[in-house]
């Protein structure tokens, strides 16, 4: 049951963080984002990548991974990078952000596919979604959208990952097809996590706090 509920808990935690920080991005949120990027990347390398390469032809697996990277680049043309912490919502606009909404829902749906009882990817998705949900919530709360639109946005965004997990685990799609989708998701995770990790800090300075957060993310992913 936790495989379905953890992503829901993540969005709830993100909304709470947005409220506690009064809808302002703090250094704590940025550190959490760095930790989540390192944790997701490491868990993808330790858990999901070997699983996919074991089940698929290596060249085919590599092709699907590259397709995932390209897909995420396309999604970011519409989301403007919300999947890795860059949320751009017009504060003075009351128009519903359909492009952001659809791209985030597609991303959330696909990231639910690799989650199953035999791996720990649910923890990677959990940690990844918390800062993203927090940042998305911050910008939604600061926008001119009605509360009904904000609630609909967050509820649908919340259920997309469990829906992906449900379809992957409870329907007969065929193992080869599921592993192919998982390879696409690896590419998505690679793009998002490396973007988070390798984005330059202010003035290209070494950030010790960010570095420690990254090391912790990798270390915890290795130990679980």
What does the alpha-carbon distance between residue 111 and residue 189 come to, in Å, rounded to a whole number? 8
Residue 25 in domain: no
* Residue appearing with tokens 């910008």: 139
Query: Do the beta carbons of residue 149 and residue 34 sit within 8 Å?
Result: no
Integer angstrom CA distances of residue 206 from 31, 198, 212: 14, 12, 11
| pLDDT per position as a tens digit, 46-97 | 999 999 999 999 999 999 999 999 999 999 888 777 776 666 656 566 678 8
Question: pTM for this one?
Answer: 0.88
User: Domain containing 54: what range?
Assistant: 3-15+30-85+95-223
Domains identified in the chain, total number: 1
Query: Do the beta carbons of residue 125 and residue 164 sit within 8 Å?
Result: no
> Which of 20-34, 92-106, 181-195 reaches the highest mean pLDDT?
181-195
Task: Check pLDDT > 90 for residue 29.
Answer: no
Residue 90 in domain: no
């Amino acid at each position: 049951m936790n495989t379905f509920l953890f992503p829901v808990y993540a969005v709830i935690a993100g909304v709470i963080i947005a409220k506690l920080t009064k809808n302002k991005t703090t250094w704590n949120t940025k550190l959490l984002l760095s930790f989540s990027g390192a944790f997701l990347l490491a868990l993808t390398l330790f858990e999901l990548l070997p699983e996919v390469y074991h089940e698929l032809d290596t060249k085919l697996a590599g092709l699907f991974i590259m397709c995932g990277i390209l897909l995420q680049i396309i999604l970011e043309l519409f989301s403007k990078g919300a999947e890795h912490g860059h949320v751009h919502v017009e504060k003075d606009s009351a128009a519903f952000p359909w492009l952001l909404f659809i791209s985030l829902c597609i991303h959330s749906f696909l990231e639910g596919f690799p989650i199953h009882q035999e791996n720990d990817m649910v923890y990677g998705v959990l940690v990844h979604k918390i800062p993203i949900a927090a940042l998305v919530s911050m910008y939604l709360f600061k926008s001119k959208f009605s509360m009904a639109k904000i609630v609909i946005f967050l509820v649908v965004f919340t259920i997309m990952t469990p829906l992906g997990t449900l379809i992957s685990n409870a329907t007969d799609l065929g193992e080869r097809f599921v592993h192919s989708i998982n390879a696409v998701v690896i590419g998505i995770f690679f793009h998002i996590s490396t973007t988070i990790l390798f984005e330059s800090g202010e003035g290209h300075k070494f950030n010790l706090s960010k570095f420690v957060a990254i090391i912790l993310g990798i270390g915890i992913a290795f130990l679980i």
